[in-house]
Structure 1
């Protein structure tokens, strides 16, 4: 039998600081190493190395907890807690039912509120440049002193702002086209609400196309982009790209047929824009004489909902002042200019839209709020 006689004090110190769960196995290893070293190098050398090993073992993970170590089986304790709670519930049924009902109602309200807030705060945040996009709001004083706030501005403003102001990276405009009659079959023709858009609409925003190229759609006159639902309604499940559909318009005595330039996914519910039919803005040019000149020179009519994409670190307040000065300098001399402007962040439109009249809503009077 091997005699185990390492230094007494270091061994006691080890037994004091070592975690009880680890003590036996580590102490056994220390003893074996000590005996081997004593045989090979003598007791003095083995004692020195033993002391060194003990000191090296004094580290987190091996040191026992400062509040002591208790190896308790808590299963029985929790089992008794459960039994007592169950007995109390059975004994006080009315009180327990009230408490459980109130607790359930509270949790349900919290979950519903959290889901509602999550949905509200998710609006328009799926666009890649959402934080850089702003909508121009115009506050116009009326003759009776009230303020008419609209989210549609003069046609020429967006283009001139992009060309003149270094803060503006890009712009995109929408205008109400009205309700159009669609359908090649007279028996199934229906009315659809339509908007017109600049050609860069699908590169400015991130609404995905199922068919068509976002860089080339809406370039030509009589070109349309339809939603997936509209496509299935009029063309079925097959591809619709390049197909034509009667629009209900007549031009020089001939019916106007629209060409499907693209098919877009139905807009998500958490978008302030809900569009199923988009006309190319170029369609206006052939439908109405001198329309191109009107778009580039008119500073009075509030026809276009205009979005600006700003460059990083742009001063929004300074740009707003520049926009006001730009419109004022181009306003007809025979008319009094009584408007102020605001740049509304895209991500705030959903929660702050009800007070604004917008061209994209076909001038819905319910969206006008006198101030």
Structure 2
């Protein structure tokens, strides 16, 4: 219960902050906070599905909200550019702020639901794909865990030893999700994810099939990039937190990912998104690897707007969050005011 109450309180606080930022933006105050523009992060774009337990709801927006977001940004004076065009904009004296759209992980709904919205508005977008999802060798563990907890009244997981976790109530499901997710990020990620895959299989959930159901394969991605507005970027192979990997493994993950995209598109991608992308999962070492490997842009999930001096291999992005799907929220986020008010921008 305490976990659920904390989440409700956190969302209320964020909503309040966004409303304050929206009002300040509407009055024309703190205009400098928006800088040169913003990069937006999306994951799923699909009609809302009713789920009893939905711990990944923040990673999902509706096509209608994407349409609303684009319309609002255009109203607010933003010009839409592709991610690969961003360095030229930042090097220019163009005073008009830009908006860049990116989507992580390569979900099927990016082709089915997001691409038509972008096409209708003539807005370019970049999809970051992990080779292991494309080739069905790695799993979307957060999706597998949510599916498992939705189905079961208890689960058995191998922490330091095998434990049975009750998952009858929503509070118990959330507690189990949080504990297993924290464990995956606390030890060797590959080992922990393999344990989840084994646990899922023992309880009737095929983790790799779920990847196939949710993520685009090579044929789907090739269909996607027939759209001249679409481009692909690298997102590693196994979607592990780079900062926790050795130098050689991190470099290999990034380079192999670029080569996997190149085999689909015919050219090496200029951009990469670091998996997870927040502090602790990506480091200055990884920024250096991105430069060494020839990426001209590399994006994090650290919130913020763009400045002239921003590190092109540590670009901030603004998440279009499933819990905050209102036009006013888009203006508030893009304005950068909310990040200034909280000391993050």
TM-score normalised per structure 2: 0.26
Q: Which entry has the higher C-alpha Rg, 1 or 2? A: 1
| Structure with the bigger percentage of helix | 2
Does 1 or 2 have the higher relative contact order (CA < 8 Å, sep 6+)?
2
TM-score normalised per structure 1: 0.25
